[in-house]
Chain A
Amino acid sequence: MSSFKVFDIAGSGMSAQNLRMNLVASNLANVDSVSSSTEATYRSRQPVFQAVLDQHNPQGTATGVRMTGVLESPAPLTREYAPHHPMADGEGYIYRSNVSPVEEMANMISASRSYQNNVEVINSARQMLAALINLGR
């Protein structure tokens, strides 16, 4: 019986959106992080999603999703002149992270909506299975 695959698929979606939510939280928490060099500065982290085929049944139709990696945003960092800042480099500059709070909020809403969609799918599939179990009673 293949109905249980719906749970796997929607579950993979939930877990992927959950990881994305963690990245959003990490980005938002580090929105004001500063450092004294471009290398050490926190850069906004974005997830990379990929559709995953069933390895036991590559001809099959059902596809889950997984996060294949995390990209650091190449957006430019803000260089700020603050000679009295404890993190200032030799020339008196500090570097601020390139996290955009607006983008992250939009990301957060999108992740939470997608998560809810997958929860709804699981709920419906659960009801379908429950009805199937009661067939012929």
Chain B
Amino acid sequence: MKLDDALGIHEHALRLRAARGEVLAANLANADTPGFKARDVDFAAVLRRELPGPVRLAATQPGHLGNDNGLVPASQLRYRNPEQPSVDGNTVDVVREQVAFSQNAMQYQASLRFLDGRIRSLLTAIKGD
């Protein structure tokens, strides 16, 4: 059993949660920028892409797909459908972004808790007491 397998999906989920936090923080920072379009991560789709499949090509050049250091590429982002777009073209709904951000933070903590549990059980196995 490899160590990566022991940590399972949670490691990928944690990284994605951190990346999603950045996107949502950018939305909130640009709440007053004219023409800014709010974006979000399609979590399930990106996580599916992140997970190692049965066969994966090695990324040896910077231009190769899959070599994005765990960041969500801009092509994986989706624009939010505004309920009340403003005249200046900004589509950030601050309340919605705040809710999404705190939800994301909670899920990040949950992923951390799961990882913590895995690490603890590994430690128990290592120590044997």
Contacts and interface: CB of A to CB of B under 8 A. Distances in A.
A118 B33 CA distance: 14
Where chain B touches its partner, the secondary structure class is helix
Interface string B61-90: 000000000111110010000000000000
Interface stretch (A22-30, A35-43, A95-103, A128-136): A128-136
B119 interface: yes
Where chain A touches its partner, the secondary structure class is helix
Contacts of B120: 136
A64 B72 contact: no
A6 B33 contact: no
Given A6-B21, A60-B71, 5 more contacts: A12-B29, A48-B34, A51-B36, A63-B29, A114-B31
Interface of B: 18-19, 21-26, 28-34, 36, 39, 70-74, 77, 94, 98, 101-102, 105, 108-109, 112, 115-116, 119-120, 123
Interface of A: 2-3, 5-6, 9-10, 12-13, 16-17, 20, 48-51, 57, 59-65, 110-111, 113-114, 117-118, 120-121, 124-125, 127-128, 131-132, 135-136
